[in-house]
Each structure stands twice: as structure tokens, then as C-alpha cells.
Structure 1
Amino acid sequence: MPLGTLDRNAPSLFRQGPTPLTRLLFFSALSVFLMVADARFHLTHPLRAAVDTALYPLQWVALQPVRAGQSAAEYFESLHSAQMVEEEARHKLAQQSQRANQVEQLLQENTRLRELLALRERFKSEAQAAEVLYDAPDPYTRRVIIDRGQIKGVALGSPVIDEAGVLGQVTRVDPLLAEVTLVIDRDFAIPVLNTRTGARSVAYGDPIANGGGLELRYMPANADVQAGDLLSTSGVDGVYPPGLPVARVDKVERRADSAFARIHCVPLGLVMASRHVMVLSPLGDQVPPRPQPEPAAPQRKGGRK
């Protein structure tokens, strides 16, 4: 091979240039210059703004998953908070409704107790308050059980009233409890007086008609009885004090094929809703005993001297 054709330059591996130290000093000085120039003259601000503008879409796309995750977390957190607030509000509403019902019940009980006390003051007979515990277990009768018995002085046959009128009569007495037969029981009868006309009659319990009431039986078809007449106790039976309200005439049926009128009455006492009642002493217990006759003077034997 001819010598003229040989490349006499040094290989790239051995090519000569600035030393690494020179390069370090150069680029360090350039960096310091650029920093001073940017701090004093803001030379790189347009370039930075252009780079920020070019990279903003990429930043927005990269931030979307993060924002979606944050939005989902905030949604579920707010949903849970709303559910907790709703549950707490419902709980408070239920408590307030319960308290309102209790207040309403207490007001009704206070009103009835005051009316009972006023009724007790109006009638001079001995009386004691009692509470209705439950209905009698016999489904074919209209009776209730009260929390007073022989120990408290409740006697057999004692009248039982509430703030509105007569409820019934004590028909069984135990040491701690007593059974009261209501006025609407089929075996109940009470002498009554029509306050408008003054006519006396007997009212019988009628548990079937209109959910429970009373009926004036054996009244002539031409008897002076009208709807709305007030019936009170007559006092002739020796059990009930006179003047206690019993019932009000609701309907009078006069039929041509019968000599008697069918008279239905509505009890004034809360026979199915009373809780607090008053037990009176029977009228016969308040009647003073009949005075004993004075012994006759002994007759002297023999004639006059």
C-alpha cells in the first residue's frame, strides 16, 4: 500500500481537546453568569414561560387521576357524613316525638285526675283512687281489674266512676285486686233517672250495639224519652249516690208492632279508655243504722189502793 494513502491523523480515541478541569471551570462560570443574568436582567423568563406553557397540558393530564381520586374520596366522605347527620336527626326526631306523646299523655292524666278530685269533692261519700291494670281475661264479659282490694278497704258492690261518669261496680274483691264490671256488660243493670222528665227506669248493659252501650228496656212506646236526654243515678238501689251521670240517650225507636220502645244510650264514662278511676263506698254503708225501739215501761200488777 502506498504511504501517501495512509491517514496520518490521530485516532478519535486519542483526539486532543479541553481537559475535564477546563470544561468544569467553563460550565461553572457559565452557570454563574446565567444565574446572575437571570436574577438581574430576567433573561430566561421568556424561555421559562414558553416551557411552562408547553408542559401545562401534560401536567393537567397527569393531575386528572389524582383529582378524580380526591373527588371520589370527598364524595364518599360527604355521603357518609350526610347519612350520619340524617340518622342522628331521625333519632332526635323520634325522641322529641316520644317526649311530645308523653307530655300529651301526662296532660290528659292530670286533667282527668283533677276532674276526679273535683267529682270527689262534689259527692260527700268516701272514695279512693285506683288504677286500671288490665282487662279481664274472659272475652265474653266487659270487666277490668284495678289495683285496690280488701286490704285497701274496697268492698263488694262499690260503685266505680271516672271524671265523666259511672264506669261500673265492683263484683269481685281479692286481697290486693278487685274486678269491676263495666256498665256495658250484658249482666249489668243500674237504676237511672231522666234529668229532663224525672222519670225513673233501669238501664241494662248492651255490649253488642255500636261497640258497647246501654239500653232502657220495658219502656212504653209512648214514653217521654228523647235523643239527648241525660240519665243519672237515681239512688233508689242503695248502691250508687244520686246524681252521678250514667249515659245519654242516643236513639229512640218506636215500632207499631211492639208495645215497647227500643232506646239505646251511650255511656258517659270512658269505659274502654279510663286508666285512673274512683272507687266509692256503697250508699247502703253510709246510711246510719236504724234506731232501736225504746223498751216499754213495765206495768204494775194489782189495782189502785
Structure 2
Amino acid sequence: MAPPNHRRPGFSKRAQYSIFASYLLGILGAVLGLLLLLVSFIDPRGFSALRTIGAEAMAPASKTLSEFGSLTGNAGDQVSAYFNAASKNAEMQQELEQNRIEILEARALRQENDRLKRLLKLDEEIPDSIAMARLISSTASSARRIATLGVGSNNGLEPGQPVRSPEGLVGRILETGPSTARVLLVSDSKNVTPVQRASDSLPAFATGRGDGTVDIQPINIGTNPFKGGDLLITSGSGGLYSPGIPVAVVIRKTETGAIGRVLANPAKVSHAIVQPIFQAETVRQIEENPVDDLEEESGE
């Protein structure tokens, strides 16, 4: 059987000396305390002098310990303040980001409200409007520039009817379904819109380029009076669009005409109004008096 690991201190002289010294110090401390207690009762003044001497003797050590404690406390306070500042900084950054998001949302909501107010005002100005609906989607990269409107034939929509927004002409109805309709945008390459310059009624044609702009060609070949900033509106020719609807603004001049930016960008238009097909008086007369009838009258 293995011997136990615990050995009595008596087997070690060093341990015996340590125990003896601790006992001796304890006894001396008790005796010294008892003597001081007796002195305090017998001679209070003498004890006060001894206490003063002890305080003076311990003053440097007490001062050193006090300064060390103060430095330690200040260092702890500084570390705590650093971490508190970092935490508050993170909270402020998070709060700032949240406020920025709320500001952007409020700004977008305000813009949407302003757009709807302009649309309602436009609807009041056009008493014969057929429907007002949301533009559900639009092609952004396709060769054809077509948008989808959230109303269809159930609401009286027919192909050819103009679609406009407060910003200007969006396009015309291309196809209709029961609850949706496809809109051929002004910027489509197959769409040709009769326009005129708003300042002097100079006639021209605006043909879509498929990239949000239109190619503007004056009717009078050989002249190019356009300049940047010219506003183009519908002329009413052709009997499709009513006159005076904003279409585009000239952004640069070309050799034969100009390039214009479409005002009613479908990416920024949320709602639109559908108008009835505009028929000018001359078009109405032609429809009421076909060419065959005119030829018969001339033959008689």
C-alpha cells in the first residue's frame, strides 16, 4: 500500500519555524494591542501623542496608497467612459440610420401625395376622362416600350385611347383585356406623335427612340428651328390626341431636327388617366362624308 501524500508539519523544520513565527507575531500583536489599550485608559494624552506619531509615520505610505487608488479609480472611470461612449456612439449611429430611412420614406410619401393631388386636379380638369388607374409595369430594356394599366375593357377602355399623367402624354391604348390594358408608350419606336412647339405652334412629328427619348422632325423639310429647352405639346392633328398635352422637352439639336426627353417617364408615373379619342372637326367631317360619297357627288 502506498504511503499517504499528507505529511505532518513536524517532519519539516521550515514548516515548524513558520508556525512558530506566526504564533510569535500573533502573541506580540496581542500584547502590543493590550498595552496600547492600557495606555489609552491610563494616559489619554500620551496615547494621543503616540497616535499622532503613528499617523505621521504612516502618512507617506497612506498618501502613496491614496494616490494609487485615485489613479486606479480614474483609469477605471476612463475605461468605463470609453466603452460607454462607444456604446452610445453605436446607438446614435443606429438612430441616425433609422431617422434617415424615415426621412426618405416620408419624402417618397410626400412626393406620391403631391403626384396624386396633381392627378386628381387633372381629372377634375378633364370631365370626359374614361378611367384613372395605376401603371402596373413597364418595359425598361425591351425593344418595344409598353406599359400595363390596371384597368381594361370592363371600364370602357378601347385601343387608340390616349393615356396621360400630370407630367404629360404617356402613350395610347394598344390592346385591352377585361381588367388590364397594354399601353404603347410615346418613346416606343413604332409610335409617331403629331406635336407642335408650345411657343409658336411650329408643327413636327415625335418618333420614339426606345430609350426614353423621341426624335423630333419638323414638317417643313430643310428648316431646323429647334433649340434646347423647347417644349413640345400635342397638336391635335390626326384626331387621336387632344391638343395641348405636354410630350417632350428638347435636350439637343441634330442636323435634321432635335432629340427630346419624354416628360411622362413611366418609371416615375404611378397613376394615369385614360381619355377618349380626340376627333378634330375635319376628321369628323371625313368620317361623316366618306371618299366614295364625295366621288359620287362629283360625278353627278
TM-score (norm 2): 0.68
Aligned pair partner of 1:170 in 168, 173, 176:
173
What whole-Å deviation, never above 9, does each CA across 1:212-249 have from its counterpart, x for those lacking one?
33322664122655554432212233322222111233
Q: Counterparts of 1:30 and 1:202 in 2: how far apart (Å)?
A: 118
Aligned pair partner of 2:198 in 163, 170, 195:
195
What amino acid does structure 1 have at the position aligned with 2:183?
V
Residue number in structure 2 paired with 1:274: 269
Q: Counterparts of 2:50 and 2:110 in 1: how far apart (Å)?
A: 84
What whole-Å deviation, never above 9, does each CA across 1:77-113 have from its counterpart, x for those lacking one?
3333223222221222122212211221122222222
Q: Are the structure 2 counterparts of residues 88 and 28 from structure 1 closer, same or farther at C-alpha, using a change threshold of 3 Å?
A: closer
Residue number in structure 2 paired with 1:3: none
Where does structure 1 lack aligned partners over 5 or more consecutive residues? 1-26, 255-260, 292-305
Q: Counterparts of 2:111 and 2:55 in 1: how far apart (Å)?
A: 78
Query: Is residue 216–residue 263 contact of structure 1 (8 Å, CA) maintained in 2?
Result: yes
What amino acid does structure 2 have at the position aligned with 1:187?
K
Matched residue SS, 1:148: coil
What amino acid does structure 2 have at the position aligned with 1:263?
A
Residue number in structure 2 paired with 1:283: 278
Where does structure 2 lack aligned partners over 5 or more consecutive residues? 1-32, 289-300
C-alpha deviation, 1:205, in angstroms: 0.6
Identical-pair percentage: 24
Residue number in structure 1 paired with 2:259: 264
The answer to which of 83-92 and 29-38 deviates more is 29-38
Matched residue SS, 1:283: coil
Q: Counterparts of 1:196 and 1:226 in 2: how far apart (Å)?
A: 12
C-alpha deviation, 1:190, in angstroms: 1.1
TM-score (norm 1): 0.67
What amino acid does structure 2 have at the position aligned with 1:269?
A
Q: Are the structure 2 counterparts of residues 191 and 37 from structure 1 closer, same or farther at C-alpha, using a change threshold of 3 Å?
A: same
Q: What is the root-mean-square deviation in Å for CA atoms of aligned residues?
A: 3.6
Point out the structure with max Rg over C-alpha: 1
Q: Are the structure 2 counterparts of residues 237 and 61 from structure 1 closer, same or farther at C-alpha, using a change threshold of 3 Å?
A: same
Query: Is residue 213–residue 260 contact of structure 2 (8 Å, CA) maintained in 1?
Result: no
What amino acid does structure 2 have at the position aligned with 1:204?
T
Q: Counterparts of 2:196 and 2:36 in 1: how far apart (Å)?
A: 126
What amino acid does structure 1 have at the position aligned with 2:59?
Y
Q: Counterparts of 1:132 and 1:163 in 2: how far apart (Å)?
A: 13
Residue number in structure 2 paired with 1:34: 40
1:203-218 equivalences under 5 Å are 203-207=206-210, 212-216=213-217
1:3-82 equivalences under 5 Å are 31=37, 34-35=40-41, 37-38=43-44, 42-60=45-63, 70-71=73-74, 73-82=76-85
**Larger helix percent:** 2
C-alpha deviation, 1:204, in angstroms: 0.4
Query: Is residue 36–residue 47 contact of structure 2 (8 Å, CA) maintained in 1?
Result: no
Matched residue SS, 2:136: strand
Residue number in structure 2 paired with 1:241: 242
Query: Is residue 204–residue 217 contact of structure 1 (8 Å, CA) maintained in 2?
Result: no
The answer to which of 170-179 and 93-102 deviates more is 170-179
